[in-house]
Amino acid sequence: MKSLRTIFKYVGKYPRLVLTYFGFNILSAIFGVISLGLLSPFLMLIFKQGDAFKAVSGSGFFNRINPVNHFKEWLYGILNTPGGNIKALMIICLVVFVSILLKNLFAYMSMYFLNPIRNLILNDMRSSMYKKILQLPIGYFNEQRKGDIMSRLSNDLGDVESSTISVLESIFREPITIILFFIYMIILSPQLTVFLVIFLPVAGFILGRIGRSLKKENKQVLQQFGVLFSTIEETLGGIRIIKAFNAEKKIQRKFEQENEAMYHLKNKANRRRDLASPVSEALGVTAVLCILWYGGRLVLNGDPSFTLNAGDFLAYIAIFTQLIQPLKGLSSASYNIQKGAASIERIESLVNEHVSIQERPDAKELTAFTRSIELRNVSFHYEDTPILKNINLTIEKGKTIALVGSSGAGKSTLADLIPRFIDAGGGEVVIDGVNIKDYTLHSVRSQMGIVTQEAILFNDSIANNIALAKDHANIEEIMQAAEIANAARFIETKEHGYETNIGDRGLKLSGGERQRMTIARAVLKNPPILILDEATSSLDTESEKLVQDAINHLMNNRTSIVIAHRLSTIRHADEIIVLQKGEIVERGTHESLISQNGFYKRLVEMQEVR
């Protein structure tokens, strides 16, 4: 099964733990067989059939290799001594006690080593998914539900833990127990064991037919979990708008419909899963009854071809009843594997997702930005929709370039090409005369700082948010960056200063405070290239002035690409690029574009009217 191959891929990383676990399982199974095998001499002794102990190892191949028969011979010698019956009984009880004690000790030791294997697999899966999330391009997340990704990291991984990984115990332990018990049953009676060889595949076929449909049903459950998580995530993010538009009932109805669908899907899947245990138990009991009827008839009729005495026959039945539980465990494991297979497929689809932004094997480091950034005949399509068409643009070091245009003109797409958030579909992006694809991603992005319109902050302290791009930044550097970004004054008013936690997405701060923190973050990184998605467009007048002053400090002596929404902020740009429908329709300084009396002038006039 594909799901098991995936699990074994992770298990294979820890061979020592696995071998130790196997070793203890084998020892536990051996002493389990011994403790049950001694049931025969115990019964024979209790029912005063001591003469049957004599020379049992001498007749037939299976009798000669049966260790219990040799134990019976040894007991026969003790029985012929004064008080031999009591001595033999005491010896049997002691051997059984020691065997059961060792069996359970080794069973515990096997579980002791299984637990870290299980947890290491889960940790590796979780780390692999999170690592892939960080590697995937930004465009991937525009197409996926965030709730579905969260569901894979939580529900899918939980399903793998409760289903597939939980059956590692059954997969690794039960076959060992079954094999050893089965070998001993062959030694006791090949005739009765032939029946099992015929019966068990039939039982396995019945259980397999029921289990295969569980995978499909559980995949539907997991997909519905993703839908639910997306709705919850959207609700938490948009709770202000929901309340403002009195949409609580509408959103509640939507959630209840999705929750109802989840209810029915889980009922259907769980009912199919729960069928495994009663079916396997019924089949096991059927097998026991058949053996009791067939073997009991042979014993009662004294069939000479049937070599089992009454004690051995009862021991055989006892061993087989103990065999039912591991067989039942394997059948339940089969169901759980089918249940977990859907989760593993979803996890693997994320882990194996193609990363479209790849580094070349011989990529070199961009150690410093010295001359210019060039876009040479660059085009970009999203699916079949053209976003950028034949863009040619040169950005000299130290210059400020502004990108303006109506919504959907391609401004953000053009800016995303420079840090390689996306790759051009045609043409090339060049830094200092070298195609950007010939540089490592890390070195390219280390030369750039980005301040977006939406302040992206994390649920952490002010200091850690500012120091995001610089490992081991000291508090003096953080304070200096905050001072340049006009953020120091408000930070010092907080109860815990720079150690103040700012809450989810920085919601404990005002919009202006959040934006000044993102500028402080860029200041601390001190990059030669800045990409600014107009950071003041959603602020009040006072906050806008503080943030704009901080941006002006940040832009000093740096190469800046500014996506402009408020045209008044880019009057002093060295060059303004006017985009319309993915093409450059105008370019020049503010004054030269006004004099052209074209699209740019109309945009300026519209904003002035407002």
567-581 confidence digits (pLDDT tens): 777 888 899 999 998
Quote the pLDDT of residue 58. 45
Q: Read off the pTM.
A: 0.71
Instruction: Count other C-beta atoms under 10 Å from residue 426's C-beta.
Output: 14
For residue range 187-197, list pLDDT tens digits in order. Answer: 777 777 776 67
SS3 assignment for 507-571: CCCCHHHHHHHHHHHHHHHCCCEEEEECCCCCCCHHHHHHHHHHHHHHHCCCEEEEECCCHHHHC
> Which residues on neighbouring strands pair with residue 265, listed in sequence order?
none
Whether 527 is covered by a domain: the verdict is no
CA–CA distance from 525 to each of 231, 378, 476, 482 (Å)? 36, 29, 14, 12
CATH classification of the domain holding 295? 1.20.1560.10
For residue range 86-144, list pLDDT tens digits in order. Answer: 777 777 778 888 888 998 999 899 888 888 888 888 889 888 888 888 888 887 877 77
Range of the domain at 259: 2-128+137-351
**Count of domains forming the chain:** 1
Token couple for 590: 């503010």
Residue with tokens 């839908």: 227
Question: Comparing 561 with 341, which gets the higher pLDDT?
Answer: 561
Quote the pLDDT of residue 401. 92
Name the 3-class secondary structure at 502. Answer: coil
Cα-Cα end-to-end distance for the chain:
65
Quote the pLDDT of residue 538. 57
Rounded Cα gap, residues 523 and 478, in angstroms: 9
Percent of the chain exceeding pLDDT 70 equals 77
For every residue of 49-92, DSSP letters joined together read -GGGGTTGGGSSHHHHH-HHHHHHHHHHHHHTSTTHHHHHHHHH
> Which residues on neighbouring strands pair with residue 530, listed in sequence order?
449, 560
Token couple for 232: 């919850």
Whether 115 is covered by a domain: the verdict is yes
* Local confidence band at 587 (pLDDT 50, 70, 90 cut-offs): very high
Whether 152 is covered by a domain: the verdict is yes
Whether 141 is covered by a domain: the verdict is yes
Whether 142 is covered by a domain: the verdict is yes
Contact 188, 314 (CB under 8 A): no
Angle between helices 190-237 and 248-274 (to 10 degrees): 170
The segment with the largest mean pLDDT, out of 33-47, 111-125, 219-233, 264-278, is: 111-125
Range from 380-384, 436-440, 544-548, 582-586 carrying the lowest mean pLDDT: 544-548
Handedness of CA 296, 190, 314, 283 (dihedral sign): negative
Range from 221-230, 348-357, 549-558 carrying the lowest mean pLDDT: 221-230
Quote the pLDDT of residue 73. 62
Contact 61, 30 (CB under 8 A): no
* Local confidence band at 485 (pLDDT 50, 70, 90 cut-offs): confident
Q: Which of 240, 223, 217, 221 is nearest to 144 (CA)?
A: 223
Whether 117 is covered by a domain: the verdict is yes
Quote the pLDDT of residue 377. 94
Quote the pLDDT of residue 529. 92
Rounded Cα gap, residues 524 and 514, in angstroms: 16
| Cα 177–chain centre separation | 32
Token couple for 75: 């007991």
Mean pLDDT of 57-61: 48
Mean pLDDT of 15-44: 81
Mean pLDDT of 534-558: 73
Mean pLDDT of 43-47: 59
Whether 422 is covered by a domain: the verdict is no
CA–CA distance from 47 to each of 26, 34, 38, 52, 319 (Å)? 33, 21, 14, 11, 20
Token couple for 521: 């973050």
> Which residues on neighbouring strands pair with residue 374, listed in sequence order?
394, 430
Name the 3-class secondary structure at 501. Answer: strand
Cβ-Cβ contacts under 8 Å for 393 (sequence gap 6 or more): 374, 375, 401, 414, 577, 584
Mean pLDDT of 296-309: 63
Mean pLDDT of 301-306: 60
> Which residues on neighbouring strands pair with residue 449, listed in sequence order?
530
Whether 369 is covered by a domain: the verdict is no
The segment with the largest mean pLDDT, out of 79-88, 301-310, 503-512, is: 503-512
Residue with tokens 């700012």: 502
Rounded Cα gap, residues 236 and 430, in angstroms: 41
Handedness of CA 437, 439, 445, 447 (dihedral sign): negative
Percent of the chain exceeding pLDDT 90 equals 15
> For the CA atoms of 423, 427, 433, 434, what is the dihedral angle to 10 degrees?
40
Token couple for 116: 């870290």
Q: What is the mean pLDDT of the chain?
A: 79
Quote the pLDDT of residue 308. 62
Residue with tokens 């959603």: 538
Q: Is the pLDDT of residue 255 over 80?
A: yes
Mean pLDDT of 372-401: 90
Instruction: Indicate the helix (H) or strand (E) that contains 234.
Output: helix 190-237
Mean pLDDT of 327-347: 72
* Local confidence band at 439 (pLDDT 50, 70, 90 cut-offs): very high
Q: Which of 522, 432, 512, 431 is nearest to 481 (CA)?
A: 522
